[in-house]
Amino acid sequence: MSPSPEQLKAEILRLTREYSAAMHQANLPASERTLPFEPGVTTVPYAGRVFTADEVEAAVGSTLDFWLTLGPEGEAFEKELAQLLGVKHSLLLNSGSSANLVAFATLTTHKLPAHRRIQPGDEVITVAAGFPTTVAPILQAGVIPVFLDNDPITGNISTDRLEDAFSPGKTKAVMIAHALGNPFDIGTILEFCRRHDLWLIEDNCDALGCTYSMPIARAKALGFTENSPGIPADGASITRYTGTWGDISTQSFYPPHHLTMGEGGAVNIISKPPLKSYAESFRDWGRDCWCPSGKDNTCNKRFCWQLGELPEGYDHKYIYSHLGYNLKPLDPQAAIGRQQLKKLPGFITARKVNWEYLRNGLAGLEEFFEFSLPTHATRWVPPTEPRVDSIFEWDNSGSRTDCSWFGFMIRVKPNAPFSHTDLAQYLESKRIGNRMFFGGNLLRQPVFVQLKKDRPDAFRVVGETPGADEIMNRALFLGTYPGLTTAMLDYEIDTICSFVKSRQ
């Protein structure tokens, strides 16, 4: 008797797990890895995919079902991510860059009140150093990005010239990223946005799992009364995940990020449900219909609409209210993401532990390097000194950040006997992955130099950008991802110490 389809699938999945265990040892979390590490031979990536047989089984199982386009796994993932963060809705997309594009496009819809709608010629405040696709959607919509400098210590936007960047009647939003898993100064940015009735778009692609706390009175004044799910109340502060403070936020699930679907991203609708249908429209060809793929007539009025100049009763599935895109991922990707979500708490902890391990190991090199600090921290407390409740000392704002670090950034001091490029090349020669801070000062990139020549009014810069230049000229970052073993981290520390000693 031939096996049933269910039996066949069960056997395929059993063999899939067996295959994964044999083939993907190098991608296991560091705590589960048994492969030996050979210094100078084994590559130490700055980031990478971390998964087990669970993800491989989920991908194969979903593929066997052959739904393929976004479907039941995607719907489940969107609900699970929204529940984790404590937002109204999460929408899956095919990349974090697409998520930024859709998030921004959402705020250009004609369905918003005229005074809130972002239109060509309006302005959006952003930051000079970062990843280009945080800024690209602004320009692609015919809107003017207004650049502020970075604080090189945190990597985030400097907030001291926000008011100088504001143009009454023109400024409509702030769109910035949490740099390398370090939240920007959410309290100051939100107060600025509330004061001027601006949208806040949080690019949370590098920061899933970070939290930001502020005193209860300040949080309530900004409209927040509850912590994000899973975060206990302490009676003094409101603590929420980054990506849940603004109006709309984005995630990336590219392999270096906090969880991966291979390619993938998400738009989070924090508290305003109508934004969900606008974002879905831009993601799904610009259509007016909100039926998911494979389903019809969820509004029970499919042939009862009259929109635009179309005849009454025109099929709602083919009515378009926006000039949209097709930016959905595949359902097997969502199946992988659901397994990754289960591992996210452990991934976040590993990133924090790895950052602290590197910081402890490189203590004593302050003559040559400047090290990053979380936003609102004023000092890292070495393990040789008493620590009260944190490894950092904090400013008097009452706000704190808890970083789910994307990377460990160091800046080579100007008087060091080597440059950050020298260090980067040496690390590369020793098979240690490292990266510059993405595009550095984007204003120095060829695309912006040319844009300034072609269209001098395409963007605006407030003041000078020495912080962004410092990041561009002096900074690089190492990995903190959950696949790094203690042996790998020790090798990184020893290699950097050896490099410094050889240059003295």
Clarify whether residues 292 and 266 are in a common domain: no
**Which whole number is the average pLDDT over 125-141?**
98
Both tokens of residue 337? Answer: 């993401």
pLDDT at 466 over 80: yes
Q: How far apart are CA 95 and CA 137, in angstroms?
A: 14
Clarify whether residues 294 and 274 are in a common domain: no
Clarify whether residues 328 and 392 are in a common domain: yes
> Who contacts 170 (Cβ-Cβ below 8 Å, separation ≥6)?
121, 122, 123, 144
> Who contacts 390 (Cβ-Cβ below 8 Å, separation ≥6)?
381, 400
Clarify whether residues 209 and 78 are in a common domain: yes
**Contact between residue 266 and residue 329 where contact means Cβ atoms under 8 Å apart:** no
For the chain, the domain total comes to: 2
pLDDT at 363 over 90: yes
Clarify whether residues 268 and 138 are in a common domain: yes
Q: Where are the alpha helices (DSSP H) in 177-234?
A: 186-196, 216-221
pTM higher than 0.75, yes or no? yes
Q: What is the DSSP string of 328-383?
A: --BHHHHHHHHHHHHHHHHHHHHHHHHHHHHHHHTTT-TTTEEE---TTEEEE--T
Residues counted in the chain: 504
Which burial class, exposed, middle or buried, applies to 196 when counting CB atoms under 10 A from its CB (0-12, 13-18, 19+)?
middle
Q: How far apart are CA 127 and CA 372, in angstroms?
A: 18
Clarify whether residues 214 and 315 are in a common domain: no
Q: Pick the more confident residue, 186 or 290.
A: 186
- Tens digit of pLDDT for each residue in 69-115? 999 999 999 999 999 999 999 999 999 999 999 999 999 999 999 99
**With pLDDT > 90 as the criterion, what percentage of the chain qualifies?**
95
Clarify whether residues 73 and 99 are in a common domain: yes
Q: What CATH code is carried by the domain that includes residue 75? A: 3.40.640.10
pLDDT at 67 over 80: yes
The overall average pLDDT reported for the chain is 96
3-class SS shares of the chain: helix, strand, coil, % to 5? 35, 15, 45
Clarify whether residues 187 and 296 are in a common domain: no
**With pLDDT > 70 as the criterion, what percentage of the chain qualifies?**
100
Clarify whether residues 316 and 394 are in a common domain: no
pLDDT band at 504 (very low <50, low <70, confident <90, very high): confident
Show which of 320, 341, 364 is a domain's final residue: 320
Give the domain extent around 244.
Answer: 1-284+323-504
pLDDT at 295 over 80: no
What pLDDT is recorded for position 382?
95
Clarify whether residues 329 and 238 are in a common domain: yes
DSSP classification of residue 9? H
pLDDT band at 473 (very low <50, low <70, confident <90, very high): very high
What pLDDT is recorded for position 388?
85
In 3D space, the residue among 61, 45, 24, 16 whose CA is nearest the CA of residue 338 turns out to be: 61
Residue of 89, 178, 196, 257 with catalytic role:
257
**Contact between residue 64 and residue 73 where contact means Cβ atoms under 8 Å apart:** no
pLDDT at 292 over 80: no
Vertex 31: Cα angle to 28 and 34 (nearest 5): 65
Clarify whether residues 30 and 166 are in a common domain: yes
User: Comparing 32-41, 215-224, 480-489, which segment has the lowest mean pLDDT?
Assistant: 32-41
Q: Mark whether 316 is an active-site residue.
A: no
- Tens digit of pLDDT for each residue in 371-421? 999 999 999 999 999 988 899 999 999 999 999 999 999 999 999 999 999
Q: How far apart are CA 137 and CA 105, in angstroms?
A: 8
What are the distances in angstroms from CA 265 to CA 85, 180, 204, 282, 294? 15, 17, 10, 15, 22
Q: How far apart are CA 147 and CA 165, in angstroms?
A: 8
Q: What is the DSSP string of 281-322?
A: HHHBTTBS--PPTT---TTS-TT----TTSPTT--GGG-BSS
Q: Pick the more confident residue, 299 or 72.
A: 72
Clarify whether residues 106 and 48 are in a common domain: yes
